[in-house]
Amino acid sequence: MDYTYAPGRNHLFVPGPVNIPEQVLRAMNRNNEDYRSPAIPALTKTLLEDVKKIFKTISGTPFLIPTTGTGAWESALTNTLSPGDRIVSFVIGQFSLLWVDQQKRLGFDVDVVESDWGRAADLDVLESKIAADTAHTIKAICIVHNETATGVTNNLASVRKILDEYQHPALFLVDGVSSICALDFRMDEWGVDVALTGSQKALSLPTGLGIVCASPKAIAASESAKSVRVFFDWKDYLKFYKMGTYWPYTPSIQLLYGLKAALDLIFEEGLDNVIARHTRLGTATRLAVEAWGLKNCTQKEEWFSDTVTAVVVPSYIDSSEVVRRGWKRYNLSLGLGLNKVAGKVFRIGHLGNLNDVPATAGVSCRGRDGAEGCGLPCEAGKWSGCCLCIPAEQHPNDSFKDLNPHVYVVSGERVTQEPSIVWRAQGRIHEGSRPQGCDEGTKGHHRLVDVTVAVSGSNLNR
Ligand SMILES: Cc1ncc(COP(=O)(O)O)c(C=O)c1O
């Protein structure tokens, strides 16, 4: 895509990296410090205690590793397993596919369970494998909690139930990169042995920290695991934890202060309120997608993700074009479809430090861009665009709980529901020419839409 300068703020709605809040940006705007001074170990001690809360663990041991989600995967695998170990792993989209690829390249014997993209991990197959494995040859189950490529959330409690039912000792390794700190995640309750995330997702930090948490069982496994590891060796960390200096190598001072600020914001809001906010924004986004007449890539409601929605476009549209136009016209960043769903879906990220105003504006822009830019068909008199609204009276300052998002459907010049005090929506339909990439069949009944969202009187994106 050709780059051309676009004025105004970039509306970042990819499912990671996400927007960084001002408080975190300010906290990171500082000089380097000597990480062997008394200040950094004291800060690190607090951070290690605090990150346990986002995993919902008391007994886990956290590691803050200068890496990304991919490095966190490697840390989880190489510290707990030996080459040739049999592991069961699920492929349901691009990120679980990449993790499986890493598992194979590290020399494990990977028993891959595949699902169609848009479906969750097949736990019936898992159950039959676990039931048959009376010799306990399966050493680990690896699962991505939230598949960022398709917007599918797997049910981790059910995985634990299966392992418990057959008293199977396999380690339970979970990629929580696009779930932890946004979706309900309970390390101790679900008996997760290694959980991991990356700083650029729901924590709303820059990329660069892999945050891994290991159960006592995983720490015990690391003592005999034979995989080669150097940079990711937990032993080095544990040695420095014991000494009270914490760092086997140089940490990013700025990221540590950023993490402190990010966690402070999360705890100030309350982790459960953060999760409830993601539920609300996820629901709202899905309502908007439905109102646009588009389908969610996720095949069943129980798998819907509250951090990312993969929107399926009609077959005559290339979803990359939606993303391209969003970027070009509105300085709006949406996620591309990846691998098997390339060209078929675009992704809306709704995770991290995000409130209803940017989320609403962003989604409305997408409605507009989807319709205007890419020729989504809409019949006269029916919906033509929509915006998401949280009525002002339901929006107390002190709590985000129990708020129901509404989709206000805009049709012609008429708003079918009274707009709320904070939000106003206007619709304008005008005829347009057939967009490139649309087949002849869409000509004629095709109408273009112009949706404007005004927030407290000022228009966003025209
Ligand atoms: C679920 C999931 N796992 C792992 C990764 C890889 O993380 P990274 O790109 O930080 O290495 C991603 C990246 O988006 C992801 O979404």
pLDDT at 358: 58
Q: Do residues 309 and 359 touch, judged by C-beta distance below 8 A? A: no
- Report the distance separating Cα 401 and Cα 147, nearest Å: 26
* Residue 141 phi, psi (nearest 5): -110, 125
Give the residue, out of 103, 178, 333, with the most ligand 1 atoms within 8 A of its beta carbon, to mutate for a pocket test: 178
Cα of 188 vs centre of ligand 1, distance in Å, is 23
Cα of 349 vs centre of ligand 1, distance in Å, is 13
Q: Which of 148, 144, 200, 197 is nearest to 309 (CA)?
A: 148
Write out pLDDT tens, residues 104-149: 999 999 999 999 999 999 999 999 999 999 999 999 999 999 999 9
Cα of 69 vs centre of ligand 1, distance in Å, is 5
Write out pLDDT tens, residues 325-374: 888 877 889 999 999 999 999 999 999 998 765 555 455 544 444 444 44
- Report the distance separating Cα 126 and Cα 124, nearest Å: 5
The residue whose CA is least distant from atom 8 of ligand 1 is 69
List the end-to-end C-alpha distance of the chain, in Å, as a whole number: 23
Report the pLDDT averaged over residues 222-247: 98
Cα of 261 vs centre of ligand 1, distance in Å, is 23
Residue 429 beta carbon below 6 angstroms from any ligand 1 atom: no
Tell me the average pLDDT of the chain: 81
Q: Do residues 29 and 20 touch, judged by C-beta distance below 8 A? A: no
Write out pLDDT tens, residues 26-83: 999 999 999 999 999 999 999 999 999 999 999 999 999 999 999 999 999 999 999 9
Write down the pTM of the prediction. Answer: 0.84
- Report the distance separating Cα 18 and Cα 283, nearest Å: 19
Write out pLDDT tens, residues 81-96: 999 999 999 999 999 9
For 404, the token pair is: 């129901």
Give the residue, out of 18, 65, 67, 70, with the most ligand 1 atoms within 8 A of its beta carbon, to mutate for a pocket test: 70
Q: Which of 13, 51, 307 is nearest to 182 (CA)?
A: 307
For 72, the token pair is: 């966190």
Residue 70 beta carbon below 6 angstroms from any ligand 1 atom: yes
Q: Which residue would you say has higher pLDDT here, 384 or 366?
A: 366
Q: Which of 242, 245, 263, 224 is nearest to 61 (CA)?
A: 242
Residue 172 beta carbon below 6 angstroms from any ligand 1 atom: no
Domains and CATH numbers, the chain: 11-17+270-460 (3.90.1150.10), 32-268 (3.40.640.10)
Report the pLDDT averaged over residues 430-452: 30
Cα of 259 vs centre of ligand 1, distance in Å, is 18
Residue 349 beta carbon below 6 angstroms from any ligand 1 atom: no
pLDDT at 357: 59
Residue 150 beta carbon below 6 angstroms from any ligand 1 atom: no
Q: Which residue would you say has higher pLDDT here, 156 or 290?
A: 156
pLDDT at 54: 98
Residue 177 beta carbon below 6 angstroms from any ligand 1 atom: yes
Cα of 171 vs centre of ligand 1, distance in Å, is 21
The residue whose CA is least distant from atom 7 of ligand 1 is 69
- Report the distance separating Cα 103 and Cα 86, nearest Å: 10
The residues near 355 (Cβ < 8 Å, ≥ 6 apart) are: 277
Cα of 95 vs centre of ligand 1, distance in Å, is 6
Cα of 94 vs centre of ligand 1, distance in Å, is 9
The residue whose CA is least distant from atom 9 of ligand 1 is 69
32 three-state secondary structure: coil
Residue 178 beta carbon below 6 angstroms from any ligand 1 atom: yes
Cα of 91 vs centre of ligand 1, distance in Å, is 14
Give the residue, out of 12, 89, 177, with the most ligand 1 atoms within 8 A of its beta carbon, to mutate for a pocket test: 177
Cα of 289 vs centre of ligand 1, distance in Å, is 25
- Report the distance separating Cα 266 and Cα 258, nearest Å: 12
